[in-house]
Structure 1
Amino acid sequence: MNEEYLAYVHENAPKTKQLKTLIPAFLVGGTICSIGQIVSDLLKMWTSLDKEGIGAATSVILIFLGSLFTGLGLYDRLGRIAGGGSIVPITGFANSIVSPAMEFNQEGVIFGISAKMFVIAGPIIVLGVSASVVVGLIYMIFL
C-alpha cells in the first residue's frame, strides 16, 4: 500500500525545473551578498570602524534595506523570482520579521504588530539562543 502511494505521488507531483529555479536563486543571493561586501568595503574606506564595527554596521544596513524593500512590496516580488536565494541572506531574516508585522498591522500595535512580528523568525531566534547557551555551557565545563 505504501509503495503504491509513493508511486502515485511521484507520478502526480508537479515536477520542479531545478535549473530554472537554481540560476535565479544563485544570482539574487549572490547579488545580495555582493552588495553586502560593497557596503563593507565602503565602510572600511570611509570610516574608522574596526573589523567588528564594520561587520555590525554592514548587518544593520542590510537589515534596513531588507525591511525597506519589504515595506515597499519589492522583496516579495524578488522572492517569487529568486526563491531561496532571497531568504538565505540576512535581508531574508529582516523580511521574515517585517512582513508579519505589516500583515497584522490592522489589529493594533499590541495584538497585531507586537504579537505577530516574530511568528516566522521567533523559532529561529529561540533555537539560536538555546544552541548558544548549550555550546557555551559545554565550552565552560570542558575547556
Structure 2
Amino acid sequence: MEKRKENEIKNIYQQLVQKKVPQSSLIKDAIFAFVVGGLICDVGQFFMNLFLSFGISKDDVGYYVATVMVFLGAFLTGLGVYDNIGKYAGAGSIVPITGFANSIVSPAMEYKREGYIFGVGSKMFVIAGPILVYGISSSIIVGIIYYLVKMLAR
C-alpha cells in the first residue's frame, strides 16, 4: 500500500517537473552554439593575424592568442557579459578556451565575499579542477601508452 502511494507521489512530481521545465529547440540551440562558437574563433583568428603581422613567429603566436583569449574570457566574465552570452550560446561559449577562463573566474567571483583564501582561492577550481585533473591524467596515460607502443615497435 505504501509503495503504491510513493509511486503516485513520484508520478505527480514528475508531471509537475515536466510542466516547469523550459522547452528548448534543438535546432535553434545548435545554430546559436555554432554561430557564437564561430565568432569566438573569429576573434581568436583576428588576434592570430594581428600578432603574425607584428612579426611574431608561427611557433609562438599560439601562446599569445591563448593568453589574449583567456584574458578576454575572464574579463567578460568579470563584467557579467560572458554569462549572458552563455545563456544563448550554450556549448558554443563553453567549449572554446574562453569557456575555460569563465569556469575559473565564475566560482571565484561567486565566493569572493568569503575572502581571498577560503572564498576565491579555495573555490576557484571547483568547476575547472576536475577537468584539469582528468585532462592531465588522461594525457599522462596516453603518453605512457604511446611510449610503450613505440618501444615495442623497435
Q: Give TM class, smaller chain.
A: 0.7 to 0.9
Please name the residue that 2:34 is paired with. 26
Q: How far 1:79 moved relative to its partner? A: 0.7
Question: Are 2:144 and 1:137 equivalent residues in the alignment?
Answer: yes
Distance 1:19 1:142 in 2: 43
Which consecutive aligned stretches of 4+ in structure 1 deviate over 3 angstroms post-superposition?
Answer: 12-15
Q: 1:8-67 CA deviation, whole Å, 9 max, x = no partner? A: 88xx475421122122111111000011011101111113x3223100110000000000
How does the TM-score come out when normalised to structure 1?
0.87
Please name the residue that 1:46 is paired with. 54
In structure 2, the gaps of 5 or more residues are 1-10
Question: Are 2:103 and 1:96 equivalent residues in the alignment?
Answer: yes
Distance 2:133 2:59 in 1: 24
Distance 2:149 2:31 in 1: 44
For residues 1-143 of structure 1, the aligned pairs below 5 Å read 12=18, 15-47=23-55, 49-143=56-150
In structure 1, the gaps of 5 or more residues are none
| Higher alpha-carbon Rg | 2
Identity %: 51
Distance 1:128 1:23 in 2: 28
Distance 1:16 1:98 in 2: 27
Q: How far 1:72 moved relative to its partner? A: 0.4
Q: 1:60-110 CA deviation, whole Å, 9 max, x = no partner? A: 000000000000000001111111111111000000000000000111111
CA RMSD of aligned residues (A): 1.6
How does the TM-score come out when normalised to structure 2?
0.81
